[in-house]
């Protein structure tokens, strides 16, 4: 029998119901394990330092330290930690901000849960999310 080490996940959202809902769905997957939750960006940075998750599922819009700045701090200090952004309002500015901060993907909260599970697995395997909204690094313009 083959045993795999579960992917360690930190959930970050200022809405408790959202965190609890994601946790209950992720708990149904043996290869995915929620190791902690945070309700704001400051708590997320602290939790990453303490828990060392593989993946952070990060809400973009939060009061105080938002998801973009929290992602920047996390990926700056822990480049091995992968951040997947979640947003209710899928705006290009949020997508670009998350990409610049180091997020590997951004999903709309209206997406099906399975899209998040597939994205987590793709990222852990070193691939890029398939058919999902993911941030693109801005192209550099050629020098004149």
Query: How wide is the angle at C-alpha 112 spanned by C-alphas 109 and 118, nearest 5°?
Result: 105
Residue 34 β-bridge partners? 9
Question: pTM of the predicted model, to two decimals?
Answer: 0.85
Residue 44 β-bridge partners? none
Mean pLDDT, contiguous 10-residue spans, the chain (144 residues): 80 96 95 97 98 97 94 97 86 77 91 91 78 38 40
Would you state the pLDDT for residue 91? 59
Task: Work out the burial of residue 17: count CB atoms within 10 Å of its CB; fewer than 13 is exposed, 13-18 middle, 19 or more buried.
Answer: exposed
Class of domain 7-124: alpha beta
């Amino acid at each position: 029998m083959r045993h795999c080490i579960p992917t360690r996940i930190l959930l970050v959202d200022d809405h408790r119901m959202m965190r609890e809902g994601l946790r209950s769905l992720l708990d149904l997957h043996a290869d995915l394990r929620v190791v902690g939750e945070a309700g704001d960006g400051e708590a997320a940075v602290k939790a990453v330092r303490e828990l060392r998750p593989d993946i952070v599922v990060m809400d973009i819009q939060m009061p105080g330290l938002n998801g973009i700045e929290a992602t920047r701090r996390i990926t700056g200090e822990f480049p091995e930690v992968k951040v997947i952004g979640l947003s209710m309002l899928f705006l290009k500015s949020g997508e670009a901000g998350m990409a610049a901060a180091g997020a590997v993907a951004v999903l709309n909260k209206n997406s099906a849960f399975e899209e998040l599970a597939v994205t987590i697995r793709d990222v852990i395997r070193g691939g890029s999310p398939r058919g999902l909204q993911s941030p693109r690094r801005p192209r550099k313009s050629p020098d004149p």
